[in-house]
Structure 1
Amino acid sequence: MTKENPNGIPQEDEAFIDPLAADEAPSPDVEALVAERDEYRDRFMRALADAENARKRADKERRDAEQYGGSRLARDLLPVHDALTRALESAGQGERAAAALIDGVELTLRELNNVFGKHGIKVITPAAGDKFDPLLHEAMFEAAVPGTIAGNIIQVMDNGFMLHDRLLRPAKVGVSSTPAS
């Protein structure tokens, strides 16, 4: 039963006994209920954390699928890019008698590069004299060439390609083995 003290604040009757009061030892039933409550709270928190981790993992997998789902298509288009590039290089070495053909190939290559850019494909175009980077380049051969620095690119066979931040294909290059003098 509650009474009001002189200030009007409700006050518990002295006859009321709190089972969890510090000066009283809790009964075994109360201890068991508290332990069970704590166990359920722990299970709930773990299940909540597992659900949050699963949600984050699913979000990441969805983003990766959106961004990198076209990897197979992109890899299949790379030889087309290579063939067009080689056609222009070989045509540039001789006479430009077939100017219309060359213009058509240039236009096609430019359009392919626009499509690549639209889908996050970047061409890795190393040049002779660049430092060899094993993360972006694949060394096809190594040769001692006078006037070059060891570890620098001396010839480029094929360009490399990146899809966003992933390497689709490394650039195929020749590397100098001549020690710096």
Structure 2
Amino acid sequence: MLQRSLFRASRQAARSVQQPIQPAAFATIRQQAGARAAPAFRWYSDAAPAAEAKPTENAEEAKPDEVARLKEAVEKKEQDIIAKQDKYLRSIADYRNLQERTRREVAAAKDFAIQRFARDLIESVDDLDRALQNVPTDKLTPENPDLVTLYEGLKLTDLILINSLKRHGLQRFDPSIESEKFDPNKHEAVFHAPMKDKNDGTCFITQQKGFLLNKRVLRAAKVGVVKNS
């Protein structure tokens, strides 16, 4: 009995396999497969997300002692700024004064570099000037051509020498030529004498001419001063 039942079941299974599948069944299978294989889409909105509302925080009022401390700190900073600005301005002024002083010292060193040399040179100029003054003018006649030639040569030499010295800032002056008022900064009074046709305190004779080096007195002129009273 058991063998017969098994035989019948196997024959029925073979018949069911041999039967063709209907087209409607294929369509159903395809629809089911497409439904299972269809891709899933996720759509996003273009609208900007709503901003999250931030909770408003109530500002805490500063304490009175904190405000006072801040004011004190600000005042201290302002005082520091004023002090540093004053120090800065003073430094600039000191630097400019140093520049000006250095410029004057350099200029003075340049102008008076030949001072020692000039002091030695004016002695020779004095000797030449005295030689010209000691030539008797009554002897300068055509009868003494050699003396005239010598005198003119000395005079020309003196003129060239004085002009050369003048180009280097050394200038000779004679206060008695224009009866200058006695100036103790430029003149040295050797003696006083009454002169009726001269004003008191004027220079009427020069014993030794003076020299200026760049408008500074290198040697004072030795003069006689008028004193009528």
Gaps of 5+ in 2: 1-58, 62-66
Change (3 A) 1:173 1:128: same
Per-residue CA deviations over 1:58-81 (Å, capped at 9, x if unaligned) read: 111112222222222222221111
CA offset at residue 172 of structure 1? 1.1
- When the two chains are superposed, the root-mean-square deviation of aligned CA atoms in Å is 2.6
Say if 1:129 and 1:148, in contact at 8 Å, map to a contact too.
Answer: no
Say if 2:204 and 2:224, in contact at 8 Å, map to a contact too.
Answer: yes
2:117 to 64, 73, 76: 73
1:153 matches 2:153: no
The one-letter code sitting in structure 1 at the alignment partner of 2:222 is K
Per-residue CA deviations over 1:127-162 (Å, capped at 9, x if unaligned) read: 367143223321111123455443233321111111
> How far apart, in 1, do the equivalents of 2:131 and 2:111 lie?
31
User: Normalized per residue, which structure has more strand?
Assistant: 1
Match of residue 3 from structure 1: none
Change (3 A) 1:104 1:49: same
Say if 2:176 and 2:223, in contact at 8 Å, map to a contact too.
Answer: no
Per-residue CA deviations over 1:24-75 (Å, capped at 9, x if unaligned) read: 6561433333333332222222212211111111111112222222222222
Match of residue 169 from structure 1: 219
Gaps of 5+ in 1: 1-14, 18-23
Change (3 A) 1:158 1:64: same
Change (3 A) 1:155 1:36: closer
Say if 2:204 and 2:225, in contact at 8 Å, map to a contact too.
Answer: yes
Identity of aligned residues (%): 30
1:99 matches 2:148: yes
Match of residue 36 from structure 1: 80
Which has the higher Rg, Structure 1 or Structure 2? 2
Q: How many residues align?
A: 158
> How far apart, in 1, do the equivalents of 2:79 and 2:195 lie?
78
Match of residue 188 from structure 2: 138
- Give TM-score, length-normalised by structure 1: 0.73
Moved over 6 A (4+): none
Match of residue 125 from structure 1: 174
The one-letter code sitting in structure 1 at the alignment partner of 2:226 is S
